[in-house]
Every structure is written in structure tokens, then in C-alpha cells.
Structure 1
Amino acid sequence: MSPRDRVRIASTDPTGAVLNEYASTYACAAEPPPTVWAVNLADDDGLFRLIAFDFDAGQDPARAAHDADGLSERLERLGIEHVLCASGPSGGRHIWLSLAEPATPDLVKALSIAVKRAYPSLDRTPLTNPATGCCRPPGAPHRNGGVSTVIRGHEWDLASPWVTVSQLLELTEELNREHPAPGVTQIRAEAGPLPVDAQGHLYLPGPRRALPTGSQEALNTRIEATQDASTILWTVLIGAAAARWHYNDVLQHLRTAPGLEHARTLRGHTAHSARRQRPRHGSQSPEAILAAEWRRAVTHVATTPRQAGEDPTFEPRAQHIAELVETIQDRATASPGRWNTGGGPADRRVLDALCLLALQAVQPIIEADIRRLALITGIGRETARTSLIRLSQDGWITRTEEASGPHGASWTIDPQDTIHNQPDHTRPQAVTRAEGAGAAHRNLLLTELTDKLHASNHDAFTGNGSLSLHLGNVYALVAEERTLPQLTRLTGQTTLETLKNLSELQSVQLIKRTINGWTQTSSRNLDQLARNRGTAGRLNERAKTYLAERILWAWWQQEHQWMTTPGTKSRRTPLGQTTLALGPILDAYPIYPRSARHRADHHAARQALKAGALQHLIPTAA
């Protein structure tokens, strides 16, 4: 069943113990190798001839068995021939498919992502590297004793390939439909108030895009007397907000666009009578209605995840940003020595955070101020600032726009602009790309980076008396069970240095040894360690401080903008009064507190913040 004339054999450590790594090869012969061995899944041309779904027992053998059984039942329903095996004594499972026609790495990668999202115990590694990806077939020995044993199906089926590329595509698309990826993640409240333009209208930061197809069609829809004009207006506005339009971009269509009829007119007195013009002035004027609905739409888009299907441009953008982030992460993993000394541990967290923000924004350029990065990574704002400088100097990122007013600096994780300069390659099976593959890939990377940053972003690794940032990063690496050689390679340290780190984490009961390597213990142990070391609550206090600082700065910048913008002096709201009582142009911020000498009173502004003066500007999920 091997696609090549050589199989892969397991490596051993200096003591002779067999490792779960297959660096050497062995010529196929009548007799199998004398040690643990595995077959490559792809042929010498890099095309997959076998598919092996490896469900890792790890800490939860029952989960591996449950996931394998679930996938096996799905394959049976779809008529896909397969063989289910118990991989060895630890409770892992393998599901094998033998392909009647070769599958490209892109298709197999998309399949592995879809299966991983539905069945989390899957180890994608064998399916992501056509050069060395391998798995132990039925009958092959396990390094801890026993052999891979068939549970369902017959091993001889693997020598008579039946599975087609179209069946792989059908499986991938079914899983993607059942586990849709969100188009845009919601803006978290700790990010501070939403930005406002010179006239006080909310907007979402980022480069402006064309309206989604549905919103463009709604903008051009002529309203009949029986139609719900408010729904059509809402469709236009949420699409415009998501596409990073500003209020003035919509306002210029108010007089002519059919889809904005609800802002111009009222429903007739009867179901079939003509619509009536709105008053020219006051809270029911066209400008006032449009401004109020725009504010509601921006807040809705900021706090509600949008589905990928709402924007036809989403899938290619998701595909490009996922491929870019994966390339960056692979490059960083291949340079482990860069991240384990000096400022390296903080730099890797900041790079991961920028990748996470780019995935959320579905674009490589993101606005990322140092306080936001500090909260995501669990480091201080000054540490985040110096990390950005080092990453920029080393060519990992590039600053595209300086900080200005209420906005932080913008950075790109794509200094060479590879997204817009991709060569045009003609690939076999291009027509078989699975629907939703880009969105699924993005979603998987979002989950992996979020989990990684969350694991190290804890009071136990924060400030004096805590464990180091580097130990926090090592702790995050063992969220999945890993061997000592794997951890040595990922940290870029010697075996002795890695063992020292692992022993220190084990001594405080944050990780434990297993039959296959190292893995985390309960997260409750992290909380207990923080309490024992007197560091509990530090990140929460830091978050409160940074949020207050960001809101104060945005408030003062808006005050300065009001003072220097002609024609806005009459539209001020005294502190303590709601902005919703204003006319068509909303000034989102009240008057900045002043002293008796009419100078800015920053102390009074802080006190007003504590009293909730600007709470209406902070987006919260419904």
C-alpha cells in the first residue's frame, strides 16, 4: 500500500527508546523493518495516494475513540470506503482511505482543516506535509508495544483504491457547511470607544471596500408601497458599516439612491397609498433618520459576528489572510532561537497577536496600539512598544501609518505585500477547491492563536514574583501533548535547557509527564499559583487602567477636533446629558471638563469616566 518504494522508520534517543519521529527510511522488501515504521501518504511527486486521520489519545482516549467513531459513521453514510484501526495501547485511532486518483496537497489540507474543526482530537500533521507526512498502517508495531489493529473494514481494501477526489470534496464541503466560520469577530469592550469622525458619527476603522452584493442590490432597489423600506435601508447600512464606509459616504446617496427611501419618506396612510415626504427639519428629517440608523448599524456590526455568506468577497480574502498567517507562523516556528532569550518571548507574543488581529480583520494591515497589544498578550504597554520596534527592525512587520489623534499606529504583517502580488500558478485540480475552505482555514488559525495567547496570558506569568514570559510561552506549547524532542525544536533550546523549563513548570504542577510526552494540567492550578505568589488580579487591574487611559485620550482628541473644526461650535452636549437628544449630526462626546480658568480638567474627566459618562460609546455584545 506504500506510495513509495521506501517506508519511514522511527528514530531513537541516546538511551535507545523509540521516539514518535520518523527521520530515516527503509527500502520496501518482503520482510517489514525490524523497528517501528510508517508509510508515506504522498508519492514522490507530492500527490496524496493515502489519507490517514490520526486521532491522538493524549489526555482523553475516550475523546479520540468518540471522534473516530463519529467520522467513521459519516464516511459510511457518504459511501466512502475506509478502514478504522486502534493504533496501539494508548487508545489512539487511525482511519485510512486509499485513493483511486491522486489528491493535491491543497485539497488534503482543506480536508484536514474541516475534519479538525468537527473532530478536535485529530492530529493534522501527517496530512499537512506531503514530503514526510506518514502514519503506521494496519499491522505496524507501536513504540509502546502492540500493533495497529483493524476495528472496522479490511486491510486489503487499502490495496484496492476506491475513494475519489470528488468524494473528498463532498466530505470537506459537508463539514464546512455544518461548521460555518464567522466573517468578522466582534469588537471587544476593552478596546475602548468606537472612533468618530469630525461630525461625531461612529465608524469602524480600516480601508474602505466595495459594498457587499446584497447591500449594493438593496441600495438600488426601488421601494413599492407594500415593501418594508426600513429593512432595505438596514441591509444597505450594515453592509456599508462592515465595508468600512463612513456616514458621509452614505449621506451622498441620500437624495438619489432608491434603497434609502425609508430615510426620505414615511409609509402611506393605507397599505397601497403613496409614501409621504418626511419633514425637512427636526428629529424626523431624512438626515436625522439616516444618522440614527447609521449609529445603530455601526454598533450592530461592531458587536455581532457576521457570517461569511453575507459578503461574497469574504472567501478569497479569508483564504489569502489564512495562507499569509500560516506562512508567518511556520517561519517563526522555524526560527525558534529568535524567541527564547532577552525580549524574544515578548516579541513572539506580539507577533502572534498581530497575526490574530489580521485574521479577525481579514486583512494584513491592522491598527494596533500598544495598550491593545498589551491586553492581548499579557505584557506591559512599554514592553509591547519595544517589541514592535524589534519586530519591525528584523523585517517581520512594517509600520504603514503613524499614530495620529485617537488612532494607534497601523502595521502590516505582510511587508512584501504578497497578498496583492501572488504569482499566477496553474494548479491541477484547481476546480476541486472545497467551498468554504478559506473561511475554515481562517477559523482554525483563529482558534489556535486565541488558545495559545490565552494560555500564556495569565497572572501567573505577570510581573514581579511570577514565572517568566518564556515559561508562559513554553506552557502554551504543551496545550497539546508534545514530546521532549518536539519541545526542544520548538523552543530552540538544548535538550538540557528544555528539560529545565519543563521541570520548573512541573514543580509548580502546571504540566505533567505522560506516556507520550508532556501536557498541561488543569487551568485551576494556574489560578492557585497566582494566588500563592501574590500576582492574582494584576491583569484585570491593568486592563481597567488601560481602558481608562484610552477613553480619556480619545475624549481629549475629540475635544481638540471640535475646537479646530469650523461649524461645530453650536452642537455641544454638556457633560451628563445624553447625546441622543441632538439633531441630525450627533456629537458622540460631551464637553470635556474645564477648570474655573477654562482649561482642560483631566482629573475631573477621570472622575466622570468612573461615573460612566462615556459608557454609551463602548460596544457591548447583545
Structure 2
Amino acid sequence: MHSPSSAPNHNPHTGVIPAPRAARADLQELFLQLSPRLSVRVDTKNSSGQWQHKYIERSLPDRAPRGPYAVYLSSFFRAFRWICFDLDTKRGDVGPDLATLLRWLEEAGLTYVVAASGSAGGRHVWVAAETLLDDQLVKAIAVAAAKRLPTLDYGLLKSRTGAVRPIGAPHRNGGRSELMSPSSPGRAAELLTPATCRNPSDAFVRLLLIIDAVPAAEDVRPKLVGRDEFGEVIDDDGPRLAGTPRTVLDRETVALLTRRPPADRVSEVCASLLTKLALRRWSRPMVARLLEDRQYRQGGLLHLWTSPGMGPLRVALDQSDAKEKFEGQWERCVAYAAKLPIPQEALAWTADLADVVALVALLQQAADACPERWTIDSGPADRAALDLFCLLALRSGSTRLSLDARRAALAVGYGRSTMSRAFKRLSLDNWLGQAEDTGPANTYELLPVTASHPAFTLVAQGGTQRNLPPLGEDRPTLLSLLETRIAAGQADLFSYGRATENHSGGLGHHAGRVYQQLVLHTDRALSLAELCQRTGYGARTVAKHLGRMRDLMVATRAVMTVHHECPTCEAVPGERCRTAAGAVFRRRGADQHATRQTLAAERSSTPYYRARPGSLIAAAKVLGCFGVTASRARRYAVEIELYRWWQQEEEWMRAPKAGIRTGVQTHQEQTALVLTTLVRQPRRRYPRTADNRGDHAAARARVERRIATA
């Protein structure tokens, strides 16, 4: 066993690691030498001598254990030495997720090692870091990747006790974790060693921006549960699904809460109980209050403060581990509850949703009825903002929305100032109404199309009003249409501006509106006349945009000259023309009617266009505008974090100081500012000038040092 004096020659706090030997074939020995802790987790056997997949902590050995074991990814202070992406076949097909993950790593400039985990088809992707990574950054990468990789088991990257079986370690069901790429163990050892991996911390921030430059919108769908009321608890503030908490519990939930679960269903009962409470709009502090009662800790919440022991026994966790486990389980159950389908018995919800769907459909019809409104200089930005409000209304089930300009800008591919002015223009034109401001972001409300609306006459004359299907059946169609349109206009290729020394300009958002119509009609090609009618632009403008997109191979021209119907004999495409008597039409020099020949000649002279969505990134790289959205996201992240930091500083300055410490209250390893999505952060002193004023330039520089250079 290693003693503190005989431990490997490295400091887990500073991340200083000696370079490995040039030819090291024993990767298990390498993992033990580079372990960020002086302990490992070792599997245990049951009474019949079989591995039971219950790991316990043991001191760091000199040699690799014979049975299954795992090394920690982070130090005791939650600083990560490695990031291991665990792709599990139990969650789906690993192949596509592995290819996507490796592409992300290569785009971020990170080196990696791929290993077969030992289970059938499972993969471990190891990424070492030159310096220890902050746990909040690793957690953000894990959460963002899990939203796009269904087979990723990201729990080990969010936990302080996250550990993975190293390459070469045996599996409980037989086999071992085997090296796949690179094939040379010596090269793999270099990539797994911090001193030679060449993976700076900035590259991991760049990886986060690549995976999730635009945060995914929350898909919150309320659900009604049982009506059999039984008990009630005190309400409290805290994170929960949108809506008013329902503190009255049904008998089934109370039974799960008070009865001790079977030994083989402890985690299952806890997950079911937390999901039920999340659906009732409970907050985390409300559930935490239940943990204070011994009756509930011994009941359905037993899994939150204990871990499996030998046989049916449970081992109590310390306070910090129990709190971390509870927060992770609650977050997972809330996310699962938000994705549950709407039940048929939720009549109040579906009725409100039907009204929202009807209003969004009417607004979209009104916007399509006046395409000339969106052809002015500010038109594309106005239409993008309107589409975004309609999309969020369909997702949330409410026409009253709080949305800040930065989030809207990142969602549709514009700048924050452009979006702010677009909100004002839509308000002046009665598309949006200013609602009561109840939060940090402005609150707007979608307005119905009335007689005073500028598009009311066009809607009435165009006949676009119709009877909607009951209970919001148009919602999936509208969601798909709006998501497709916004995603097409968000591409870097359609960023605005001309290319200069300091700015790379794209085709512009007016070209993006033309491309949106091509994407929305992928089932058929569109003619130039139809594109002019749908976009409101003149033929010369549309032809100019199509020509530039064709040069970049974003759009292609399709000439329809193969098969045509016959207006005279009504022959379908592919059939020969026939005479009045029914015989096949045969005449010297021709085998079809003149009207059919005229139709073919007319169509052959009319160009039709189709979209090529797979070439957007390549075209943006050709123009030099690739990464505009990611760069914008980086700037906005700095501004948001800087503003939040200054708000915390102002709150601290206004708070009473009597009886409390006013100096630095953080560990010396925690003084660096960390970008995070947490609601609250431990207070860090804001930079000050010589006259004790806030030094915003120094604060911005400190925040920017934590983000990769765009």
C-alpha cells in the first residue's frame, strides 16, 4: 500500500505530473501512478463468490487488483484529471454517438484514447487535461453532451465519487477493458498523461461551446396526478417545474413516502416518488424538509441518504455525500418529469394549450399573408423574433413570456441590439404587447390579430382563417415548422455584414429567408415565381441570393423535364398519349399531343431550386464566417457572468456587516472565477481600483481568461 510519503511523485492539487517512460505498455500501472487520489474503488463478491457490482474504497495499491476496480477521475477537492465519456449499449446504439463525440473532440483540438469498456459494445473515451479541470466546467460538458448523446452515462462526471475502470481492468461479467485507438500502448500512455497530452483547459471550454453554444430550451409540460387527497405539507421556495406547487398528496404517493421499499427496489421507489413530487411542482427545499423526518428517510427516500452494503444492509452516507446525491437525483427526476407526455385527463391544460395553438396558427398565417412586411432592412430580424415567441409559446403553453435579448439573439442568430430593436418594432405593430415585468428579463405577450392589426385585412381577404382542430392537434406541425425555420436562419452562413479585416460577413439574413423556404419544402422543388410569392422579394433579388447560394453549393437547380401529364388526353406522367378511340397516339414525328409538348417546353425553361442543408458549415468556412454564433455566445456569456457578479457584489455591499466576516472566505484554490449555471455561487470579491471603486475592466479580463479564445 502507498503511504503519504511513498505516494506517486505528483501533487493532486497543482496538477504537476511527471512525463511517463517512453515505452510503457502497462496502462493499469500508469493509471495507478497518475491517480488523483490515494485510493481506488474495488468490487466485492457475494456469498456465492460472484462479483455483485458494489464498489468499496480501498487504499491505492502498488499493483493492479485482480478483480474489477475503478480509479477516481477527480481529486478530493473535485478537480478533474481525466474526463471519461462512458457510452453504454443499454441506452441505445453506441456507434453514432461515438462518431459524434470524436468529431466534437477533434473540432475542439483535444486528443483522446478510445477503449472497449468490457461490456458488449460499450466504449470509454478518455481525455486527459494538462491542468486539473474545475468540476463545474466538467459538469457543464457532461450535461450538454448527455442532451445529444443518448448512450452517454454522465453521472460519473457530476459526482465527487465518480470512478471508471481503467484500460486493462477486468469486467465483472468476464473480459477486460481493451485499448482500441491508438493501437500503440506507448502512444496511449502519452495521451493519458497530463504532461504530454497537449490538452489545455481552454480547449475544454471550446468543447463546451461546440457541444452546446446555444442552451437548449426547457420543455416543461405540466401533468395532473391523482385526485384522492390525503396529506399536506408546508410550501417553500426553490427550483421546480413551472406552475403552482400542489401540496396535497394522493394516497399512492403517501404510501410510497411512508413505507420502507423492498431491498431490490430502493432506487426505483425513490425515483418514482421524486418524479411524482416534481409533477406536483414541488421544489427542492420542500423535498429536503421531508428528509428531516426519520419516518420518510426510512421510507421512500431511503435511497437518498444510504448506499448499498453487504446483502440487504444499507450504509449511511455522510452529510456532504447525501446532499450531493439528493441534488443529482432531484435534478434527474425533474428533467424526466418535464418530458412526460400530456395526459388526456389534463383537460384544463389542453384547453389552454388549444387556445395558444390557435393564436400561434393565426399569427403565422397573418405573417405569411404579408411577406412584404419582412422584406425591409429590419424585416428578417422581426420575423425571426416573432417566430421565436411563437415557438416558446407552443413549448410553454402560455402566450406571456419573459425573454431577454441575449437569449433570443443566440436562438435565432442575430445580435442582442438587433433583437432588442426587433421587440420594440413588433410591439409598435401590435404583434407583441408589453406585459407586467416580474423578472430580470422583459415580459411580452402575443397579441391576437384584431381589426386594428396591420395584417388583419390581408388575413381576411386571403382566406387564411379557418376552424382549427380541437385541443391543439396542430401543435406538433407548428413546432416542427418553427424549429426548422429558426434552425435554418440561425446558420453562420447567413450572418450579416461584409467581410473586412475585423469582421467576416455571410450572405445576410435576407438570403436566409429565401433558404428557409427551400428547407421548408424539401419534398419538392420551388420555382423562382413561387419563391418570390412566398418571400415578398422581387425576382431580381431572389435570383441574386440563389446565385450566391448555388456558387457555395448550398442550393441546387433542378429542371423538371422528364415526365409530364397530358392536358388533352389526361395521360399521367410515364404513360403515352392516346387518341379519342383509346389507341396509342402515333403520328409521324411525334408520339404525344402538342399541348403536352408545349407543357414540357415551358417547364424545361422554368428553373426550380432545392436546398442542400449538409453544406452550410462548409460554405460558412469558405466565406470565413464559421463560428460567428459561438463567438457571440462567448461574448454574451462574459457579459452575463460579469453582470451577475456585480449584482452579487452590490447585494453584499447593501447587506448588514455586523457580526460577520468581511474578508476573503474562500480557499486559495477557489479564488478563480468559474463560469457556472448554478443559481448561487460562493461570494468572490469583485476587483477594485485604487480608490476602492469597482474595476469592471479587470473583472471582464478575469472572466475572459476562463473562456477559450474565439
* TM-score under structure 2 length normalisation: 0.45
CA distance in 2, matches of 1:503, 1:257: 72
Q: What's the counterpart of residue 391 of structure 1?
A: 426
Contact 1:263–1:289 (CA under 8 A) maintained in structure 2 = no
Q: What's the counterpart of residue 616 of structure 2?
A: 526
Structure 1 residues 172-571: aligned runs within 5 Å? 190-191=214-215, 203=239, 206-208=242-244, 210=246, 217-218=252-253, 221-227=256-262, 231-232=268-269, 234-241=271-278, 245-250=282-287, 283=319, 293-294=326-327, 296-298=329-331, 301-302=334-335, 306-308=339-341, 313=346, 318-402=353-437, 404=439, 407-414=440-447, 438=472, 441-465=474-498, 466-479=506-519, 480=521, 481-495=525-539, 497-515=541-559, 518-561=608-651, 564=654
Q: CA deviation at 1:545?
A: 1.3
Does the C-alpha gap of structure 1 residues 562 and 316 become closer, same or farther in structure 2, counting only changes over 3 Å?
A: farther
Contact 1:347–1:388 (CA under 8 A) maintained in structure 2 = yes
Structure 1 residues 90-105: aligned runs within 5 Å? none
Does the C-alpha gap of structure 1 residues 300 and 397 become closer, same or farther in structure 2, counting only changes over 3 Å?
A: farther
> What is the one-letter code of the residue matched to 1:203?
P
> What is the one-letter code of the residue matched to 2:400?
I
Q: CA deviation at 1:344?
A: 1.1
Q: CA deviation at 1:540?
A: 1.7
Q: What's the counterpart of residue 681 of structure 2?
A: 589
Q: CA deviation at 1:495?
A: 4.8
Q: CA deviation at 1:210?
A: 4.4
Does the C-alpha gap of structure 1 residues 395 and 454 become closer, same or farther in structure 2, counting only changes over 3 Å?
A: same
CA distance in 1, matches of 2:481, 2:217: 28
Q: CA deviation at 1:292?
A: 6.2
Does the C-alpha gap of structure 1 residues 343 and 570 become closer, same or farther in structure 2, counting only changes over 3 Å?
A: same
CA distance in 2, matches of 1:453, 1:270: 51
Contact 2:404–2:442 (CA under 8 A) maintained in structure 1 = yes
Structure 1 residues 76-225: aligned runs within 5 Å? 190-191=214-215, 203=239, 206-208=242-244, 210=246, 217-218=252-253, 221-225=256-260
Contact 1:234–1:293 (CA under 8 A) maintained in structure 2 = no
SS at structure 2 position matched to 1:589: coil
Does the C-alpha gap of structure 1 residues 595 and 201 become closer, same or farther in structure 2, counting only changes over 3 Å?
A: farther
| Alpha-carbon RMSD | 5.1
Q: CA deviation at 1:491?
A: 1.6
Gaps of 5+ in 1: 1-186, 195-199, 418-429, 580-585, 614-622
Flag the structure with more relative contact order, 1 or 2, with Cα contacts below 8 A and sequence separation at least 6: 1
Does the C-alpha gap of structure 1 residues 476 and 303 become closer, same or farther in structure 2, counting only changes over 3 Å?
A: farther
CA distance in 1, matches of 2:335, 2:649: 24
SS at structure 1 position matched to 2:319: coil
SS at structure 2 position matched to 1:447: helix
Contact 1:527–1:536 (CA under 8 A) maintained in structure 2 = yes
Q: CA deviation at 1:601?
A: 5.0
Cα deviation, 1:484-529, whole Å, max 9, x if unaligned, reads: 4432332234455544544454455432332466444433543344
| Bigger shift: residues 512-521 or 288-297 | 288-297
Does the C-alpha gap of structure 1 residues 545 and 327 become closer, same or farther in structure 2, counting only changes over 3 Å?
A: same
CA distance in 2, matches of 1:482, 1:211: 55
Q: What's the counterpart of residue 140 of structure 1?
A: none
Contact 1:192–1:551 (CA under 8 A) maintained in structure 2 = no
Does the C-alpha gap of structure 1 residues 192 and 243 become closer, same or farther in structure 2, counting only changes over 3 Å?
A: same
CA distance in 1, matches of 2:542, 2:478: 26
CA distance in 1, matches of 2:216, 2:669: 20
CA distance in 1, matches of 2:413, 2:308: 59
SS at structure 1 position matched to 2:686: coil
Aligned residues: 390
CA distance in 2, matches of 1:564, 1:241: 35
Q: CA deviation at 1:562?
A: 5.1
Q: CA deviation at 1:241?
A: 4.7
Does the C-alpha gap of structure 1 residues 190 and 544 become closer, same or farther in structure 2, counting only changes over 3 Å?
A: same
CA distance in 1, matches of 2:309, 2:555: 71
Contact 1:213–1:311 (CA under 8 A) maintained in structure 2 = no
CA distance in 2, matches of 1:361, 1:192: 14
CA distance in 1, matches of 2:398, 2:616: 34
Does the C-alpha gap of structure 1 residues 503 and 545 become closer, same or farther in structure 2, counting only changes over 3 Å?
A: same
CA distance in 1, matches of 2:609, 2:337: 35
Q: CA deviation at 1:340?
A: 1.1
CA distance in 1, matches of 2:652, 2:426: 36
CA distance in 2, matches of 1:450, 1:389: 23
SS at structure 1 position matched to 2:640: helix
CA distance in 1, matches of 2:680, 2:619: 43
Q: CA deviation at 1:201?
A: 8.6
SS at structure 2 position matched to 1:308: coil
CA distance in 1, matches of 2:238, 2:269: 21
